[in-house]
Amino acid sequence: MMYTPTPDHYLFPRLRSIDWAMDKWEVLPFLRLFLNPEMIKFRVGFPDNTPHPFRVAAMSTIPAENLTELVLDRSNMRDDLTRDVLIKLLDEASDVLRSVSLDGELPMAVIEKLLQLPDLRRLNIQLPGTRISPPEVVFPSLETLGVSYREAGSWLHLLQNIPNPALRELHVVFSGSSPEYLQTLFSSLLDANIVKTLASLKCSPENKIPLTSADIRPLLYFRRLTILELNATCSDGQCASKLDDLIIPELAMALPHLTSLILGDTPCKASTSDPTFTSLVALSTNCVNLDYLRLHFNTSDLASRDTHTNTRTRASKCKLRTLCVGSQPLPSDPNDILLVTFAIIYMFPHLETIVTDGGGWEQVERNVELSRKASGIVSLPTVI
Residue 79 counted as domain residue: yes
Residue 299 counted as domain residue: yes
Residue 373 counted as domain residue: yes
Q: How distant is the alpha carbon of residue 136 from its chain centre?
A: 29
Per-residue pLDDT, 381? 47
- To 10 degrees, what angle do helices 334-347 and 277-286 make? 30
Residue 69 counted as domain residue: yes
According to DSSP, the β-strands at 122-126 and 144-149 are: parallel
Per-residue pLDDT, 95? 92
Cβ–Cβ contacts within 10 Å for residue 372, how many? 15
What's the structural domain count of the chain?
A: 2
Q: What is the 3-state secondary structure (H, E, C) of the chain?
A: CCCCCCHHHCCCCCCCEEEEECCCHHHHHHHCCCCCCCCCEEEEECCCCCCHHHHHHHHHCCCCCCCCEEEEECCCCCCHHHHHHHHHHHHHCCCCCCEEEEEEECCHHHHHHHHCCCCCCEEEEECCCCCCCCCCCCCCCCCEEEEEECCHHHCHHHHCCCCCCCCCEEEEEECCCCCCHHHHHHHHHHHCCCCCCCCEEEEEECCCCCEEHHHHHHHHHCCCCCEEEECCCCECCECCEECCCCHHHHHHHHCCCCCEEEECCCCCCCCCCCCCHHHHHHHHHHCCCCCEEEECCCHHHHCCHHHHHHCCCCCCCCCCCEEEEECCCCCCCHHHHHHHHHHHHHHCCCCCEEEECCCCHHHHHHHHHHHHHHHCCCCCCCCC
Look at residues 39, 73, 102 and tell me which one is the last residue of a structural domain.
Answer: 102
Residue 178 counted as domain residue: no
Per-residue pLDDT, 294? 95
Range of the domain at 95: 1-102
Q: How distant is the alpha carbon of residue 30 from its chain centre?
A: 36
Residue pair 241/296 in contact by the 8 Å Cβ criterion: yes
Per-residue pLDDT, 34? 75
Residue 156 counted as domain residue: no
Residue 121 counted as domain residue: no
Burial class, 262, CB count within 10 angstroms (exposed 0-12 / middle 13-18 / buried 19+): buried
**Among the listed residues 248, 321, 312, 245, the one whose alpha carbon sits nearest the alpha carbon of residue 288:** 321
Residue 170 counted as domain residue: no
Look at residues 69, 102, 135 and tell me which one is the last residue of a structural domain.
Answer: 102
Look at residues 102, 135, 166 and tell me which one is the last residue of a structural domain.
Answer: 102
**Among the listed residues 306, 191, 297, 189, the one whose alpha carbon sits nearest the alpha carbon of residue 243:** 297
Average pLDDT along the chain, 384 residues, taken 10 residues at a time: 55 80 70 79 76 76 90 76 89 94 85 88 85 74 89 75 83 82 84 87 86 91 95 78 92 97 85 82 95 90 60 72 89 81 89 85 86 62 45
The structure's pTM equals 0.86
